[in-house]
Structure 1
Amino acid sequence: MKQLDPISHVMTTSLKTVQIHQKLSEVRRIFIENQLHHVPVVHDRKLVGLISTTDMLRLNLAVSGTNSWSIDTMLDQQFTIEQVMQRNLVTIDIHSTVRKAAHLLSDGVFHSLPVVDKDNNLVGIITSTDLIRYLARLC
């Protein structure tokens, strides 16, 4: 039964991550250059937070007619990764199933689940889009 497949069949493992001390403009560049919507924040390999494009949009910067350099400067002067990131994350264990991931994502409150091992080391991420692609392959 496919719903009992391990999430390792669905999750993304080649992650772009940031550390708390990095600049928020670096997160913005990661979103743009990699067409991502979620960037985990780590300390060494330990998951400490997550920044989504929605978190960035909440900053409400007045960017009309502003170039990328100005946007990055405003971001870096007004905010830090630590201020913007989500801390109270719902995560999923590496040994969980696709079914459990689908159940956790199905309420629509969030669209990604960081995948961690028993020591809270980040090993991947699974998103709503990953699940949809997985289901599309089954049809």
Structure 2
Amino acid sequence: MEHLSTVEDVMTHSVISVAHDTVFRDIVQTMRTWNVRVLPVLAEGGRVIGVVSEADLLLDAQDADPDRATTAEQLMTRPAVAVAKDATIPAAARLMARGHLKRLPVVDGDGGLIGIVSRGDLLKVHLRPDADIGAEIRGLITCRLIPRGPVEVHVRVAKGVAYLHGSLPDPALGDAVVRAAGTVPGVVDVRADFTFPVSAA
């Protein structure tokens, strides 16, 4: 499996959306045709300005005549909660959790819609082979964390759990290695058993 670290790596590229001036009935029809419950609303130029959901439509229908020309821009929730394409997968997960959201529009640097990411998409990282996860942790340690002097860290990954052991010069470096390993996509837990020089313990 390819390296998965950003929202762009896991998002769905084909997105059903509506223009800001799409009327009530056409929004409903689009949702039924494509079997979706939430639609990004786009301004001219493709910039995401909001989202319209089934809940928005039902709320409007309770108090108004659905035959009137109510538009997506009038119905939508704003501002749109969107995520940048280069956001990390954990960052997107936190954004979803805070807003109790199931999906997020994915935007480029100009706010243009380029995809959509769901909770299920974010879970794809946990399908990464353990060997790939282990290789990434080793690369992270080798390239960024090893100080001057001999350092020996062994990495084994089983079912997403990273097991680290070896000899490090001080406990602070051990903490840094554990934190870094925990940021690797697909890691669900880190268990470390390091030894340190007597003077550093």
Shift of 1:45: 1.3
CA distance in 1 between counterparts of 2:99 and 2:82 reads: 15
Partner of 1:125: 116
Cα 1:107–1:82 change in 2 (3 A) is same
Q: Is the 2:22–2:72 contact (alpha carbons within 8 Å) kept by the matching residues of 1?
A: yes
Partner of 2:6: 6
Q: Give the letter for the 1:80 counterpart.
A: T
Structure 2 residue 116 is matched with structure 1 residue 109: no
Q: Is the 1:114–1:124 contact (alpha carbons within 8 Å) kept by the matching residues of 2?
A: yes
- Using the size of structure 2 for normalisation, the TM-score is 0.54
- What is the number of residues matched between the two proteins? 126
CA distance in 1 between counterparts of 2:120 and 2:38 reads: 12
Shift of 1:59: 2.3
Match of 1:94 among 72, 85, 88: 85
Q: Give the letter for the 2:108 counterpart.
A: D
Partner of 1:18: 18
1:2-81 equivalences under 5 Å are 5-43=5-43, 44-61=45-62, 74-77=65-68, 79-81=70-72
Bigger drift between 13-22 and 103-112 goes to: 103-112
Q: Give the letter for the 2:51 counterpart.
A: L
Higher CA-based Rg: 2
Query: Unaligned regions of 5+ residues in structure 2, if any?
Result: 129-158, 160-201
Q: Is the 2:4–2:10 contact (alpha carbons within 8 Å) kept by the matching residues of 1?
A: no
Deviations 1:3-49 (A, max 9, x none): 96111222121111111122121111111111112111112211111
Percent same amino acid at aligned positions? 28
CA distance in 2 between counterparts of 1:101 and 1:119 reads: 18
Q: Which of structures 1 and 2 has the larger relative contact order (alpha carbons within 8 angstroms, sep 6+)? A: 1
Q: Is the 1:115–1:125 contact (alpha carbons within 8 Å) kept by the matching residues of 2?
A: yes
Q: Give the letter for the 2:54 counterpart.
A: T
- Using the size of structure 1 for normalisation, the TM-score is 0.75
Cα 1:78–1:113 change in 2 (3 A) is same
Shift of 1:60: 4.0
CA distance in 1 between counterparts of 2:125 and 2:38 reads: 21
More strand by share: 2
Q: Is the 1:11–1:125 contact (alpha carbons within 8 Å) kept by the matching residues of 2?
A: yes
Deviations 1:43-102 (A, max 9, x none): 22111111112222222449xxxxxxxxxxx42406321221011122211111111111
Q: Is the 2:102–2:118 contact (alpha carbons within 8 Å) kept by the matching residues of 1?
A: yes
